[in-house]
Amino acid sequence: MRRHDPTPDQRRTVKTMAGFGVPHTDIATFLGIDAKTLRKHFREELDRGTTEANAKVAQSLFQMATQGKNVAAAIFWMKARAGWREKVEIKPVIDDDISRMSDAELHAEIRRLEREVKTVQVVLVDETTASDGERQ
């Protein structure tokens, strides 16, 4: 097996492409190497490129937000690339009438509500447990 010796130009390219959000497999293809080789020899560039790009956009977002400018593009970037999420809080409300229902009445009420509510989808994302490949 041939040893890979990264050049300074390749390191800059990997860092830039990682910062732009190009998937590791595509960066590896661009360089003509295997993705495992990319991660082995360019780990710092892959990590720093993404982190530095997110930091630049965060700085820009802060400046635009504090200057009252339109921030839609920067917010999109931070959600899509930096893992920012909007917090949705669901609080159950227990009505006294419900607490006095029999099991049969409660089941009937649930069926009635299911007919009213066509689709409810809740997606929980735990970024702290996602593997590197899932966050890529």
pLDDT tens sequence across 38-60: 999 999 999 999 999 999 988 98
Instruction: With respect to residue 58, please indicate whether it lies within any of the assigned structural domains.
Output: yes
In 71-109, which positions are buried (b, 16+ CB within 10 angstroms) versus exposed (e)?
A: beebbebbeeebeeeeeeeeeeeeeeeeeeeeeeeeeee
How many structural domains does the chain have? 1
Instruction: With respect to residue 40, please indicate whether it lies within any of the assigned structural domains.
Output: yes
Residue 38 belongs to domain spanning: 8-83
Tokens representing 81 are 């690339």
Q: What is the mean pLDDT of the chain?
A: 81
* CA distance readout (Å), 24 to 18, 38, 45, 46, 80: 7, 8, 11, 8, 17
Instruction: With respect to residue 70, please indicate whether it lies within any of the assigned structural domains.
Output: yes
Instruction: With respect to residue 132, please indicate whether it lies within any of the assigned structural domains.
Output: no
Instruction: With respect to residue 93, please indicate whether it lies within any of the assigned structural domains.
Output: no
Instruction: With respect to residue 99, please indicate whether it lies within any of the assigned structural domains.
Output: no
Q: CA gyration radius for the chain? A: 24
What are the pLDDT digits (tens) for 69-103? 778 888 887 888 788 888 877 777 666 677 788 88
Q: What is d(CA 64, CA 77) in angstroms, rounded to the nearest whole number?
A: 14
State the Cα angle at 40 between 27 and 30, rounded to 5°. Answer: 15
pLDDT at 129: 46
**Taking 90 as the threshold, does the pLDDT of residue 6 lie above it?**
yes
Q: What is d(CA 106, CA 99) in angstroms, rounded to the nearest whole number?
A: 9
Residue 119 DSSP SS3: coil
